[in-house]
Structure 1
Amino acid sequence: MSESPRFVVLVPVKTLALAKSRLSGLPDQRRQELAAAFAQDTIAAVLDTPAVDRVLVLTDDFRFADKLAQAGCTVIPDGAGDDLNSSLVQAAADARRRWPGLRPVAVTADLPTLTSHDLSDALAGVPDGPAYVADHVGSGTTLYTASYDEFAPLFGNDSAVEHALSGARAIEGDLPTLRLDVDDVGDLGRALVLGVGTFTAAVTGRA
């Protein structure tokens, strides 16, 4: 029987001044605070997941990077700027040099409800080839994984469809906290009902 894979999770974090622009109607400072909290809650859950050995954050927000490094992440610059998929491919290459025995997993940074339980369940269901988790509306992607040799994420519009067309397999299961990416105010309301992590709870007065 083969051993269960161990993982390095790649988390792309936008510069906070540019993040979560679709949270319209909120002051810039509030939007930045929420973006930071979402990322910190996402990363806290990832760090708490037993199958995850390393967390590699890619960001150009150097002040925020210090906080994430103190939390236990390895932090590198965002190598390709606005091209998320190219940045992730570069980050996977960096991870391969550092940790060749781990399998790379890209996880979005806007999952404030994420629990280590749901992430563990998703990782336990990973097939040998490329795989992804569709978001709560079924069109986007919150998680993508493949071996280093096959790693070719397709985040963007209709990314769940694009990943499926590329041959990646959908990871099944409810996984509610892994599917709920927060893009707009409606999503934030759904997240607060489901239950958010400590950082988002503090920012939204739910602590």
Structure 2
Amino acid sequence: MRSYLDLVVPVKRLERAKSRLVGAADGGIGDRRAHADLVVALALDTITAAAGADGVRDVVVVTSDPMLTAVLRAEGIRTVPEAEPGLNEAYRHGASALGAHVGALQADLPALRSAELAAAIAAADGKRAFVPDRQGTGTTLLISAPGEPLDPRFGVGSAQAHRASGAVELTGDWPSLRCDVDTESDLSVAAGLGLGPRTAQRFRLSA
């Protein structure tokens, strides 16, 4: 019988999120509203693609930002507020609200293709596993074994931390799943893969 996965996607409050992308949405001006709109676009494109992946049953976003919460709920996306500060704490908190088989997905994958995420979930084959980012040092996706703790170890060097914790490294040809965005240069790489519609609109406006 096939096991379906529930995904946790944390997003910081918009005034603190993606600080290295400030100015990417407005040609370097750094307007706070333009930046917030870009962060929302990144998250929505990521979540929409994730929710459409075969094998994903539900997606819950952990955020305490009121604007983002309102936008997500209007789109029919479930949210829960942060309980404690910190990315790993957010993943654990979100996982506690979901089922027995959960995954931790980064919120900054604006080129994500549903088919690539589905392929990674299938490749995990019920094992605790992770997908490294395109640099090979970070993690874009961590999957628990069904019924077992997620045990997230995100942060600097998270790929090695997850590897050392016993998670299986997944190395399929999934460029959109591995392309997280922290800088405008990263966003340009993602654009080369094909951005989701909301991010494409925001990034196009800044050109």
Q: How does the TM-score come out when normalised to structure 1?
A: 0.90
Spell out the pairing of 1:60-139 with structure 2 (5 A cutoff). Answer: 60-81=64-85, 83-95=86-98, 99-100=99-100, 103-139=101-137
Q: How many residues align?
A: 198
Spell out the pairing of 1:150-165 with structure 2 (5 A cutoff). Answer: 150-165=149-164
- Structure 1 runs (4+) deviating above 6 angstroms are none
- Gapped runs of 5+ residues in structure 1? none
1:120 CA displacement: 0.7
Asked if the contact 2:42/2:108 (under 8 Å) is kept, the reply is yes
C-alpha separation in 1, matches of 2:67 and 2:20: 23
1:2-36 C-alpha deviation (Å, 9 max, x unpaired): x2210111010111111111125540333222211
Q: How does the TM-score come out when normalised to structure 2?
A: 0.90
Asked if the contact 1:8/1:54 (under 8 Å) is kept, the reply is yes
- The residue matched to 2:97 in structure 1 has which SS? helix
- Which residue is equivalent to 2:58? 54
C-alpha separation in 2, matches of 1:55 and 1:72: 10
Matched AA of 2:203: T
- Gapped runs of 5+ residues in structure 2? none
- The residue matched to 1:22 in structure 2 has which SS? helix
- Which residue is equivalent to 1:191? 190
Matched AA of 2:53: T
Asked if the contact 2:54/2:115 (under 8 Å) is kept, the reply is no
RMSD after superposition:
1.5
1:127 CA displacement: 3.4
Kindly, what percent of the aligned residue pairs are identical? 36
